[in-house]
């Protein structure tokens, strides 16, 4: 197998037919020995039915049905695990990333002998709040995470099988796949492209926030060091304040100010809970990883066996 195209399905029914037509046209420019892998991530609409209907007339299509929704990142990794091509093209099915990037990526890969060529959005889509939130999230990740994440990194990428085989060795249950893309290493090259918008994203604010927390807590110990040094600083400050109050008491000053006491108690109490919550996130990751549960559960694999070129 020379080429594998990997994508995931979640509320994707309106895009599947056009996606298959466009990605097929691009694949044929490279080789006729290819496969299109679609991972149904427990989609609540008729995405699976639509894909199965197309498969009846397209033997290149392989469909992996997961037993429930496991999340976009895990579904992508599942598709990559089943890819058999020497080249693997990963792309979202919603066509915000044009399938026509495949040929452009291959040209760049051959020109520079890259292992991975990936897409970078020229400009983040959405309103002011979404753009500001995106910039703030990337700034926070760059500040706290030792792994350097490319700004406005996109899903679409063309990868050699040697890189993919190492990428899928990561079996973390709670992680951010963008970090794994970078952490795996190899020679990688980013290319700017125009990303379109096809309506409401399935990534809600809570999903994006959880992804941000996953990115930080999966690849960085900086927050834990921050909690330690913050506690150390508060300890020294409180020791100095206590010493000063004792001196004032022996000097005859009456200690008053219930308001300041209550504010201090509430402030320190909130800070302590925040630190406990942060440490709890790391502990919960350890707890989940030690269970060694299956990464995903596959309900069914649908494929048709067609005659290979030269066979």
List, for residues 111-155, the tens digit of each pLDDT value: 998 999 999 988 766 566 666 666 666 666 666 666 676 778 889
Token pair listed for 140:
């926070």
Question: Which residues, including other chains, have CB under 8 Å from residue 92's CB and lie 6 or more apart?
Answer: 7, 8, 155, 156
**Confidence class for position 201, pLDDT limits 50, 70, 90:** low
Q: How far apart are CA 120 and CA 194, in angstroms?
A: 8
Residue 204 pLDDT > 70, yes or no?
A: no
Quick check: is 311 in a domain?
Answer: no
Quick check: is 307 in a domain?
Answer: no
List, for residues 264-276, the tens digit of each pLDDT value: 676 677 677 777 7
Q: Which domain holds residue 253?
A: 222-291
Residue 109 pLDDT > 50, yes or no?
A: yes
**What rounded mean pLDDT belongs to the chain?**
81
Quick check: is 90 in a domain?
Answer: yes
The answer to whether residues 40 and 16 belong to one domain is: yes
**Confidence class for position 92, pLDDT limits 50, 70, 90:** very high
List, for residues 35-48, the tens digit of each pLDDT value: 999 999 999 999 99
The answer to whether residues 212 and 229 belong to one domain is: no
The answer to whether residues 187 and 269 belong to one domain is: no
The answer to whether residues 154 and 194 belong to one domain is: yes
Q: H helices within the chain, ranges in order? A: 13-30, 47-55, 72-82, 101-112, 128-144, 161-167, 177-183, 205-219, 222-250, 258-291
Sign of the Cα pseudo-torsion (212, 216, 222, 225, in order)? positive
**Confidence class for position 80, pLDDT limits 50, 70, 90:** very high
Q: What is the DSSP letter of 67?
A: S
The answer to whether residues 28 and 82 belong to one domain is: yes
The helix/strand/coil state of 285 is: helix
Q: What are φ and ψ of residue 73, in 5° steps? A: -65, -45
Residue 307 pLDDT > 50, yes or no?
A: no
Q: What CATH number should be reported for the domain holding residue 124?
A: 3.90.550.10
Residue 160 pairs in a beta bridge with: 87
Which pLDDT does position 34 carry in this prediction?
A: 95
Residue 297 pLDDT > 80, yes or no?
A: yes
Quick check: is 309 in a domain?
Answer: no
């Amino acid at each position: 197998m020379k080429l594998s195209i990997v994508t995931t399905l979640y509320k994707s029914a309106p895009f599947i037919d056009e996606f298959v037509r466009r990605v097929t046209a691009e694949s044929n420019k490279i080789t006729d020995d290819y496969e299109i892998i679609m991972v149904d991530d427990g989609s609540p609409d008729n995405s699976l039915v639509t894909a199965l209907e197309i498969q009846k007339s397209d033997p290149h299509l392989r469909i992996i049905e997961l037993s429930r929704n496991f999340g976009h990142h895990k579904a992508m990794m599942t598709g990559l695990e089943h890819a058999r091509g020497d080249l693997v093209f990963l792309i979202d099915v919603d066509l915000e990333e044009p399938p026509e990037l495949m040929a452009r990526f291959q040209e760049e890969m051959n020109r520079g002998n890259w292992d991975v060529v990936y897409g970078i959005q020229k400009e983040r889509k959405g309103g002011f709040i979404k753009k500001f939130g995106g910039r703030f999230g990337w700034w926070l990740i760059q500040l706290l995470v030792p792994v350097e994440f490319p700004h406005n990194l996109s899903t679409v990428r063309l990868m050699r099988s040697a890189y993919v085989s190492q990428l899928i060795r990561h079996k973390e249950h709670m992680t951010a796949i963008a970090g794994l893309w970078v952490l795996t290493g190899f020679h990688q090259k980013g290319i700017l492209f125009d990303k379109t918008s096809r309506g409401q994203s399935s990534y809600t604010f809570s999903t994006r926030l959880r992804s941000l927390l996953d990115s930080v807590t999966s690849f960085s110990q900086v927050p834990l060091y921050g909690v330690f040094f913050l506690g150390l600083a508060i300890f020294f400050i409180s020791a100095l304040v206590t010493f000063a109050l004792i001196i004032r008491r022996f000097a005859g000053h009456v200690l008053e100010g219930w308001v300041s006491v209550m504010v201090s108690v509430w402030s320190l109490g909130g800070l302590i809970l925040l630190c406990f919550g942060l440490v709890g996130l790391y502990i919960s990751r350890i707890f989940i990883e030690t269970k060694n549960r299956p990464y995903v559960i596959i309900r069914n694999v649908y494929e048709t066996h067609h005659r290979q070129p030269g066979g």
